[in-house]
Chains A and B, each alone.
Chain A
């Protein structure tokens, strides 16, 4: 086992990394610790104006999301080491950092795809299967928007408001999560179709304390095509 501990460390050269995983009988597999990196946006920082300012998009992406990733990678490395050493206290102690930073990475990766400039379809209501599901489960698209905005505004502290597909019931519904808890913490059968970040950092520089105005305007840049694709992919 000591040899396993050695070879899973990041300090190894790229030859080992690139995948000679099986070193033959008597030796264990090399575990490669995956590190994560900041995904690019498919639009410029300023492309969502005036709904969300370029200043916010840049700080949100380059500072906040990057920090979650950096800290997630760090926590994973520490977790790896703790597992190797059999240090159960440390393993348990790291869970909140992993949940927070890993959750932050998951949630923001979804968020960037949930947004699109208006000249690239942002704001266009969903057609097809998702559109019908929304009508069936909320009455109308407008009713969904109104309900999701009001739940987002009412969320106390920091968190997210989600449009979720319940895979078991085959219905769409609204959920909220606190802090950076990803949607799965509300149920493994829930698939995020659309998430709106209601942490203050998502809107403060532009909207200050008036979260409801942010929620009113963000609908103009919501990428319903991505939500529809996610729905079609799961509901089939």
Chain B
């Protein structure tokens, strides 16, 4: 997963969304982006930058930090606050890339094929995704991911790979759950409150219909498959 890795040296940079802050209007307002990216996301980066220098996490990529501090489910206490910030930064970078101006529509190609194989239809997948977003009580995220099945079977072959819909609370991030994220929607209230107030269902429907970047999903799927193939190659050549 190299598309959003940043080598953390002395200072992590806040990455801008891949479009101007007003580009997602009227579905997500410029005001929301100004606060969500400009205050919340920026805040996580500033917070992290205060905590890294001089520690042995200096010099690692964002993904390495997340996995190392998660420590297979027993989070290292020293890094708990910093780990939270790192996960939030990663999730937010990924969220901006999951959307595009003029987004929505429907997937095609291999994404469509895998969706139909796993869920039956695009509508069924989107319905499950929406339900995951709505039943994530409290703050959190809903994901579409590519599951290599390696959590259960480390030498699983590509036929076992499938698409999954997952929900995570607060700052939890799928890098520790052994699946490759393809798409995410942020359902913390700050993600939609200025535009939709309590109406999370309207926000999620609009995200699905008008904002999803299926191009980004396709690119991520190619990366996921390449990574899975590489993993199989490595294990079979041992």
Contact = CB atoms under 8 A, between A and B. Distances in A.
Interface stretch (B52-60, B106-114, B192-200): B192-200
Size bracket, chain A contacts: 20 to 34
Contacts of B84: 156
B171 A180 contact: no
Interface in B111-150: 137-140
A205 B190 contact: no
Interface stretch (B35-43, B62-70, B228-236): B35-43
A174 interface: no
A186 to B, nearest CB: 16
Interface string A70-114: 000000000000000000000000001000100000000000000
A156 B188 contact: no
A100 B169 contact: no
A59 B171 contact: no
B22 interface: no
Contact of A204 (B138, B139, B140, B193): B193
B189 interface: yes
A192 B84 CA distance: 29
B223 interface: no
Interface in B188-213: 188-190, 193-194, 197-198
A162 to B, nearest CB: 17
A209 B170 contact: no
A172 B209 CA distance: 50
A200 B198 contact: no
Interface in B143-196: 169-171, 188-190, 193-194
Interface of B: 35, 39-40, 43, 84, 137-140, 169-171, 188-190, 193-194, 197-198
Interface of A: 59, 63-64, 67, 96, 100, 156-159, 178-180, 199-201, 204-205, 208-209
8 nearest interchain CB pairs?
A200-B189, A179-B138, A157-B170, A157-B139, A63-B198, A158-B138, A209-B39, A204-B193
Given A156-B171, A157-B170, A205-B194, 13 more contacts: A67-B198, A158-B138, A179-B138, A180-B137, A180-B138, A200-B139, A200-B189, A200-B190, A201-B193, A201-B197, A204-B193, A208-B35, A209-B43
